[in-house]
Amino acid sequence: MNHLDQLEAQSIYILREAYNRIKPLSMLWSLGKDSNVMIWLARKAFYGRVPFPVILLDTGNELDEVYEFRDRYVKEWDLNYINAECPPYEETDPDLTYNARSAARKTLGLKRVIEEHDFRGIFLGIRRDEQAVRSKERVFSPRGESGEWDYKDQPPEFWEQYKTEFPPGTHVRIHPLLAWTEVDIWRYIQRENIPVVPLYFARNGMRYRSLGEKDITRPIESNASTIEEIIEELQTTRTPERAGRTMDHDSEDAFERLRAAGYM
């Protein structure tokens, strides 16, 4: 088994553990490259089906190509799709910065869709190498009643015995891609021929490296217009993946605060 085979087998194991132990379940589908890989892995784990709903936290403010992609693959992949509309900007905490309030819309949207469907488990495609705070995550990460992350007292997690037992009223976030890196994702997309939103590929010297809402996400300078070129670019770049996600950079602990409050 090579490195990608190992990652794939481990992620399938995680998906199957969650599917067996936790009900009801759902998966967040941001339509980014990572969550497409996650859906692909679910189809491998469950023999072509995604046996739980997939959710888009819809701010109404996603990039146009993202919506086109969604409309096509909901059908092609036969997904049980939930469009979770996020509450408007005005309902977020006014003490936060503009960027953080935009991000908080998704936190609120997620909280509502969990309450509405009483989900006990949510799959998210976050990775440890994306951001220092995420590198401290567990694969099965319990959340309190209001969705907050008690990052100072996380449960032990070893020997792949995951936390699948938790008190009523709480839920668990499951991270099947936690051990993957950005370049692993692209190599896997290449190997498996997984479709992605075309915005990742450079046009006129710019491409998106990470997809977010229109108003708080910026493309980067790049000439990488194929998967091969993206992989090559990632081998040498020294710029962090989320550099174009402005919400991370308001303060020293901006992202930590977002996540503690329940952000993905």
Partner 1 sequence: MQDSSSSLDMLRETFKIVVVGHVDHGKSTLIGRLLYDTDSLPTGKFEELKAICDRRGMALEWSFVLDAFQAERDQAVTIDTTQIWFKTPKRDVVIIDAPGHREFLKNMVSGAASADAALLVVDAEEGVREQTRRHGYLLHLLGVKQVAVVINKMDLVDHSEARYGEIVRDVTAYLHSIGVEPSFIVPISAREGDNIAKKSTSSPWYKGPTLLEALDRFHSVTVPSEQALRLPVQDVYHFDQRRIIAGRVEAGVIRPGDEILFSPSNKTARVKSLDVWDAPPLLEAHAGQSIGLTLEEQLFVERGEVISHVEDPPVLSTVFRARLFWLGHKPLEVGKRYTLKLATKTATVTVVGLETLIDTDTLAHRPGTKLERNMIGEVVLRAREVLAFDEHVELDKMGRFVLLEDYDVVGGGLISMEGYPDQRQSLTVKSTNVYSVEHTITRENRVVRNGHKGGVLWFTGLSGAGKSTLAMEVEKHLFQKGLQVYVLDGDNVRAGLNANLGFSPEERTENIRRVGEVAALFADAGFICITAFISPYQADRDRARSAASRIDSEAFHEIHVSADLNTCERRDPKGLYKKARAGEILDFTGVSAPYEAPASAELVVDTDAKDLASCVEQVVDYIDRTFRVD
Q: Residues interacting with partner 1, by CB under 8 A? A: 1-6, 8-10, 12-13, 16-17, 19-20, 43-49, 51, 128-129, 131-133, 135-136, 138, 151-152, 154-159, 161, 163, 165-167, 181, 187, 190-192, 231, 238-240, 252-253, 256
3-class DSSP assignment, residue 85: strand
The C-alpha atoms of residue 92 and residue 105 are separated, in whole angstroms, by 6
CB nearer to partner 1: give 108 or 133: 133
Coil, strand or helix: which one is 190? helix
When the beta carbons of 105 and 171 are compared against partner 1, the nearer one is 171
Q: How far is the CB of 151 from partner 1 (least distance, A)?
A: 7
State the alpha helices, DSSP H only, in 118-222. 182-192
| Residue 9, φ and ψ in degrees, nearest 5 | -65, -40
Q: How far apart are CA 220 and CA 227, in angstroms?
A: 16
Separation of alpha carbons 93 and 150, rounded Å: 20
Return the residue matching tokens 């969550």.
35
**Pick 43 or 111: Cβ nearer partner 1:** 43
Query: Which of 23/214 has CB closer to partner 1?
Result: 23
- Output the smallest distance, CB 19 to partner 1, in A: 7
| Peptide bond just before 156 cis, omega within 30 deg | no
C-alpha to C-alpha distance for 131 and 190, rounded to whole angstroms:
24
- Judged by CB, which is closer to partner 1: 94, or 167? 167
Nearer to partner 1, 8 or 58 (CB): 8
| Integer Cα distance of 151 and 43 in angstroms | 31
CB of 86 to partner 1, least distance (A): 27
